[in-house]
Amino acid sequence: MPNLFQLFVGIDWGSEQHKICLLNREGHVLGERSVERSGSGVAHLLAWLHGQGSAWPEAIAVAIEIPRGALVESLVERGFAVFSINPKQLDRFRYRYSPAGAKDDRRDAFVLADSLRTDLHCFHPVRLDDPTIIHLRELSRLEEDLRHEQHRLTNQLREQWHRFFPQLLKLSPATDEPWLWDLFQAAPLPLRAAKLPEARIARILSRYRIRRWDASKVRAVLAEPSLRLAPGAAEVASEHALLLLPRRRLLRQQRQHIALRIEALLGEPAAPGGDADAASEHRDAEVLLSLPGVGRQIAATMLSKASQAIAERDYHALRCYAGSAPITRQSGKKLVALMRRGCNERLRNALYHWARVSIVCDPRSKKLYAEMRAHGDSHGRALRGLADRWLAVLVSLLRHNTLYDPERRAA
């Protein structure tokens, strides 16, 4: 990339204040200042940059570690060229100016600006994502947070039932079925559950269409001898479990709502006559969902976490960011290929499950997995190799704007 910029700005992002350093092409400091992380602070920064000489915004390059946020979006919308860099790379650049490893916000702003001036090719240009991608990113992250919270509450509920009411665990060891919650609310203590009428149990089973259990078998399980606890212990544990249920139900409803919203976003057709980038994003989702093993969660994670690599059809950036590309280390006669640890964990997990499910629904993937296992690769290594092949197929489909066709691939 030719470096035609006239001014270089380094921004050390902070939770309360941002440190700014402005350099010219010769590396001389033209100005330094601190701006608050607020709307007025960003406005003052933009006004200050616009007032620097006669340079147009397109001639000013801005370096920052965080590739998104209100500050980055404001700079990009005003026409400034914004570049991001990995914090680990910035740490290496810092040793140019302080071999002892000294660090402060003012120095980091200078290091960002000067490194952008001398090594522009090490930075990545920042582009604003489509509103649909931003929406997908937030919903996908929220769904993962809710899933973790669900698991935590489920484990707490299982622990309480294991403490005083293990009969319920025989009906559903996972403790995540709504019909079991209704059954527990109808009789929250073992002595009351043993006297629960079969007709009421049958109504609960019928409401949730449970056929693997009938009312008589459920009542027989509930009537089994209960644990003998200290006086009051069962009542306290029952009250604790009853307080967990409303939160567990709410999380289940929220996850269902988010799943519907994500499916709607992924299935939205491109608006006729609309923006070309928006149409491309919708088309990307359609291409991704046509691949074997890709569902709602994997597609949402891929589009939200690797939006720039997918938009640029950059196979090498995608496989590095997802962790499927190995790390090679060679010194003399020694050559070692290691698993890549520096990657996006959510994207790595999405690729893992994509490859795992593709083995079940795609005969070609199943054959490749068996060949790699026979060659001596571990389960994880074989799945990473399979995921790497799927990424190559995905990028090829995106470049040609074509849906996946298993017959055409076999031919």
- The residues with which 125 forms a beta bridge, in sequence order, are 83
Q: Where are the domains of the chain?
A: 7-125, 134-260, 275-410
The single residue listed with the structure tokens 């000489």 is: 53
State the average pLDDT over residues 368-395. Answer: 94
CA distance 262 to 257: 9
Which pLDDT belongs to residue 99?
A: 83
411 residue type, one letter: A
Q: Decide if pLDDT at 308 tops 90.
A: no
327 SS3 class: strand
Q: Decide if pLDDT at 393 tops 80.
A: yes
Q: Decide if pLDDT at 185 tops 60.
A: yes
CATH of the domain spanning 7-125, picked from 3.30.420.40, 3.30.70.360, 3.40.50.1360, 3.10.150.10: 3.30.420.40
> For residue 363, which phi and psi values (nearest 5 degrees)?
-60, -35
Which pLDDT belongs to residue 273?
A: 44
- The residues with which 11 forms a beta bridge, in sequence order, are 20, 64
Which pLDDT belongs to residue 56?
A: 79
pLDDT (tens digit per residue) in 53-87: 656 788 899 999 888 888 888 898 888 999 998 88
Q: Decide if pLDDT at 269 tops 70.
A: no
CA distance 21 to 130: 30
Q: Decide if pLDDT at 52 tops 80.
A: no
State the average pLDDT over residues 283-292. Answer: 91
State the average pLDDT over residues 121-143. Answer: 89
Helices (H) and strands (E) in the chain, counts: 19, 8
Which pLDDT belongs to residue 271?
A: 44
Which pLDDT belongs to residue 114?
A: 92
- CB atoms under 10 Å from CB of 389, counted, come to 15
- Which of 84-88, 157-161, 177-181 is the least confident region? 84-88
pTM attached to this predicted model:
0.79
- 378 backbone φψ class: left, alpha, beta (φ>0; ψ -120 to 50): beta
Find the helix or strand (DSSP H, E) in which 87 lies. helix 87-97
Which pLDDT belongs to residue 274?
A: 45
